[in-house]
């Protein structure tokens, strides 16, 4: 079952986090932006929410199980389809890229979700996965406090090696890993790899034999 109860109840409160942390939000957007085409490619966001990432990144199509969140995104021009990551309502090979940002911690089956993304991608299309690294300082804080969190009490956090493994099992070839929100650095610092940043973005290419 999709973990949407908190997002239905507190949709506006969820969005306020981005308003209260504009530097962190901008760093996350910029990290993703570096890995997607500037124009001419059709992307789709799984777990589009209220459109906080899709809108600034120019993504026009999304999937969202929370109707409250979807209604906010639709007001901003996103074509939002009701659905879940494990069963995407699209035909095979439709999109140039699929994006999942802070979504994998809420899915029921991460491998099935990645395989569905693989299915709806064109050959040589790609997936973008942005998430808080379970092994990072922020990830550890989220894990420790999740029982008292409106939004993360039912979340499952992942480490970068775990996500890389699940992407490989699902058929993706990893091409890039970027990290940001690095303790001790200014918020807009973005570097390759993982192990220092709390927010990690992975790009995987859909390759077939």
| Cα radius of gyration (the chain) | 16
pLDDT of 8 reads 54
Q: How far, in Å, CA of 190 to CA of 202, rounded? A: 13
Query: Which pTM was predicted?
Result: 0.92
Question: Three-class SS of residue 157?
Answer: coil
pLDDT of 7 reads 53
Count H helices, E strands: the chain? 7, 8
pLDDT of 78 reads 97
Residue-wise over 82-115: b if at least 16 C-beta within 10 A, else e?
ebbbbebebeeebbbbbbbbbbbbbbeebeebbb
First CA to last CA distance, the chain? 34
Structural domains for the chain:
5-206 (3.40.50.150)
In the predicted model, residues of the chain with pLDDT beneath 70 are 1-14, 146, 148-151, 209
pLDDT of 10 reads 53
**What are phi and psi for residue 159, nearest 5 degrees?**
-85, 165
Nearest to 64 by CA among 11, 23, 111: 11
pLDDT of 17 reads 74
Nearest to 205 by CA among 149, 123, 150, 131: 123
């Amino acid at each position: 079952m999709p973990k949407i109860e908190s997002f239905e109840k507190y949709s506006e409160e969820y969005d306020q986090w981005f308003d209260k942390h504009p530097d962190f939000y901008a760093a996350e957007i910029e990290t993703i932006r570096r890995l997607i085409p500037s124009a001419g490619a059709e992307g789709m966001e799984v777990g589009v929410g209220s459109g906080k990432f899709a809108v600034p990144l120019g993504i026009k199509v999304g999937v969202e199980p929370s109707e409250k969140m979807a209604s906010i995104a639709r007001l901003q021009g996103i074509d939002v389809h009701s659905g879940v990551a494990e069963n995407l309502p699209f035909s095979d090979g439709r999109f140039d890229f699929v994006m999942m940002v802070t979504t994998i911690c809420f899915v029921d089956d991460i491998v099935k979700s990645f395989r569905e993304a693989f299915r709806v991608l064109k050959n040589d299309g790609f997936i973008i996965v942005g998430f808080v690294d379970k092994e990072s300082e922020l990830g550890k804080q989220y894990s420790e406090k999740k029982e008292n969190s409106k939004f993360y009490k039912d979340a499952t956090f992942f480490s970068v090696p775990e996500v890389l493994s699940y992407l490989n099992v699902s058929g993706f070839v990893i091409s890039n890993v970027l990290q940001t929100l690095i303790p001790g650095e200014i918020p807009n610092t973005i570097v390759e790899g993982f192990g220092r940043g709390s927010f990690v973005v992975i790009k995987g290419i859909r390759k077939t034999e």
